A and B are shown apart, each in its own frame.
Chain A
């Protein structure tokens, strides 16, 4: 365009004058465009995240509360009848619901607590100067790369009563065959083992990354002060990675509340029941049974919303404990400085 204006013949002088003003106008327009670009583009670039999260994360979650006040059948999702809090009063009077709450809680505790403690210890070991550290890190992460479905199918067989490798191994030490699937505690321990197996290495790497960010001179100072390795772990490492610990505790709590795949596949056929006596039915499985086997989506939504409230409370408690711990820590430090 600009080139055309320069090549214009003299008899087009009139238009040439007009064109002569062109570049300046265009550059003004361009500046405005550049300014607009600088102002609007960042929002445009981050918008896919917010749009997708709003559409497929936040909105369905909030809408769950609304659905939970209706009776909705899986076979005809458009036909919704307002039932108020009926779905919730049914839940509260349902033994199977309370059973699922307790199972979720106990499985959550026996899978999360040992898992995070072991991850912490493992990270401490990986923090040493090691030969073959990449080998250790990669192999410890292999369980994480294995899917829930595959891991559970394999572990269900390892925990088999008659031919399972684990009972065979225990038998070497004179332990009688354990009926892992049918006992309440044994099945919950077995399921927690699957969760722990899959996630310990991953959490260890997260902790290790945080440990590597702790300044080395803190350890040197501790060593000069004559602190043992155990004391260093307690007084330097753990306070140093505390935000990470809080993060993993919260994420694990959220994960444990929604536990689904492991109990579903652990018992084989009809897994949504969580065992013959619902002995390992979690809230996630109950939700699945209500919605996709009893075809009552309204009740499933009520269970989902209840799980959401449980998670909110659990996260709040975690955050509270963490902030309390932090203030105790800073008070301790201040006293030491004084």
Chain B
């Protein structure tokens, strides 16, 4: 191998600090523009929801929040039962998150640390289910819940999503690295049952990943749209069903509609603002194997 000229080598080394190339000003500029595009619609929601309808029709439009937020929110709550919707969404998303975390940790543990026949095939099968458009089964699913009288009942939207393929793969991936196999072997020698091992060793070790999976699942359940629209109605809505009534309703005042939208969105945005770093980590973690 020929040695590169000193000048080339120096440039090479300078750009290599820390193993990755440093970003130039153009990279920052592009990223800042994209970030603005990502955030402006959310910021504008806050602005428009806190002003009057007449205000947001002005040219140029306002760019700072006004002081009409509370009265707009009150008017929005008169239009749709957003309080009930928030409580329902909390129950639905909370149950789905808890169920998914439990079942996925159990399955992830089995795939990561237990040896059983056909485990590889079954894991591939789980991965393959990610590509099954199960949403398209709405018609029989609706007939089913109509027959058992679950239309407008929260369990109709909770039960079908209590476990996820992503969650199983995600927990498996985490447990493979986080849990030394020797500990489990030692527990087996001591005569612990697999469920005992799960309870006393796996659950404590898996806690960080369980938290991330719980948040991600909560987020997705909170935002789920298609099936809740079909299974529920405005009499017993989740937030998304209430937003659907609001968006498709005949409320002429845009600032009121946006105030209602804000109420339904702020809870997840707060979760996201506080734990965004972990959620980003979770998505990227799951992606490598996915």
Contact = CB atoms under 8 A, between A and B. Distances in A.
Interface of A: 30, 34, 37-39, 41-43, 45-46, 48-50, 52-53, 55-61, 63-64, 67, 72, 77-78, 122, 125-131, 134, 136-143, 145-158, 162-163, 165, 168, 197, 201-202, 205-206, 208-210, 212-213, 216, 220, 223-224, 244, 247, 250-251, 254, 257-258, 260-261, 264-265, 268-271, 284, 287-288, 291-292, 297, 300-301, 304-305, 307-308, 311, 315
Most buried by A among B35, B59, B138, B243: B138
A220 B19 CA distance: 10
Contacts of A202: 283
Given A63-B137, A153-B247, 11 more contacts: A45-B194, A49-B104, A53-B165, A67-B139, A137-B276, A150-B264, A202-B283, A206-B287, A269-B248, A270-B248, A288-B230
A263 B17 CA distance: 48
B10 to A, nearest CB: 13
B56 interface: yes
Nearest to A229: B21
B130 to A, nearest CB: 7
Interface in B221-247: 222-223, 225-226, 229-230, 239-240, 243-244, 246-247
B42 A142 contact: yes
A202 B220 CA distance: 13
A307 B194 CA distance: 43
Contact of A158 (B12, B41, B188, B223): B41
Contacts of A41: 110, 114, 193-195
A242 B248 CA distance: 41
B136 A258 contact: yes
Given A37-B194, A147-B264, A197-B38, A42 B139 contact: no
Main secondary structure of the interface of A (DSSP, over half): helix
A318 B139 CA distance: 28
B285 interface: yes
B290 interface: yes
Given A141-B279, A153-B247, A257-B133, A209 B287 contact: yes
14 contacts: A42-B119, A48-B162, A56-B159, A125-B27, A128-B20, A141-B280, A148-B240, A149-B261, A157-B254, A209-B285, A244-B287, A269-B248, A297-B142, A304-B138
Contact of B135 (A78, A134, A258, A269): A258
Nearest to B102: A48
Contacts of B131: 250-251, 254, 315
**How many interface residues does chain B have, given as a range?**
35 or more
Interface string B205-233: 00000000000000100110110011000
A304 B136 contact: yes
B272 A145 contact: yes
A154 B45 contact: yes
A141 B283 contact: yes
B269 A145 contact: yes
A55 B27 CA distance: 48
A37 to B, nearest CB: 5
A129 B23 contact: yes
A268 B288 contact: no
A139 B272 CA distance: 10
Contacts of A140: 34-35, 38
